[in-house]
Amino acid sequence: MHPDLDGAAGHPADPFVTAADPLVTGIHDRWDGQGLPGQPWPYMAICSVGRLYQLIKKALDGELERCGLSRTGFFLLTTLALTSEGRARLSTLSRFLMLHPTSVKLTVDQLEADGLAARAPHPNDRRATLVLITPAGRELAGRLNLALESPDGPFGDLAGLYRPLFESLQPMRLAAGDLEL
């Protein structure tokens, strides 16, 4: 028997591991029986993050599709809206969003064509280009962010869980080296 099980019909003693969770029945409850060494927790954590990502991505993409915006476009617009002057270098956006510079440039091309962002030369560095959020881009980013937190929106079932989710992932993210913007 697994040391984390309380012996009652194989149900986990840990209140966060429930038999209704497919990762419990598919991984946790089978780990020892299949002769796998070590604990199932690293694998279950990775699967959990991956599965949650897929579910969130599906809901987010549905909402973004209604607005004609890509996921990268949404992240880029929200990131620009968060800057003090509504602008950032292409290279800064690439680093912050953890995307290849070409992906950022292509997304900015689309946002610019849609009137949601604009380019401008950097005032002090001739080599750099700034990306600026337009009023229409700021309005769209705000509208999307409100829709995502709405109880009637695509993430209505997650209401009240965003902060605990962030706080539970933060120590692992920082321990993995996510220390820079």
pLDDT tens-digit series, residues 97-145: 999 999 999 999 999 999 999 999 988 888 888 999 999 999 999 999 8
| 3-class DSSP assignment, residue 112 | helix
pLDDT at residue 14, rounded to an integer: 60
Instruction: Parse the chain into domains and list their residue ranges.
Output: 1-67, 70-148
In whole numbers, what is the pLDDT of the chain averaged over residues? Answer: 86
DSSP 62-91: HHHHHHT--HHHHHHHHHHHHSTTSEEEHH
pLDDT value for 9: 42
- Provide the token pair at 57: 């991505």
Q: Give 16's pLDDT tier (boundaries 50, 70, 90).
A: low
pLDDT at 94 over 90: yes
Length of the chain: 181
Q: Compute the distance between CA of residue 128 and CA of residue 87 in angstroms, rounded to an integer.
A: 12
Tokens of 19: 């038999």
Q: Are 170 and 128 in contact (CB under 8 A)?
A: no
Q: What is the pLDDT of residue 6?
A: 37
Mean pLDDT of 4-17: 48
Topology (CATH level 3) of domain 70-148? Arc Repressor Mutant, subunit A (1.10.10)
Higher pLDDT, 48 or 1: 48
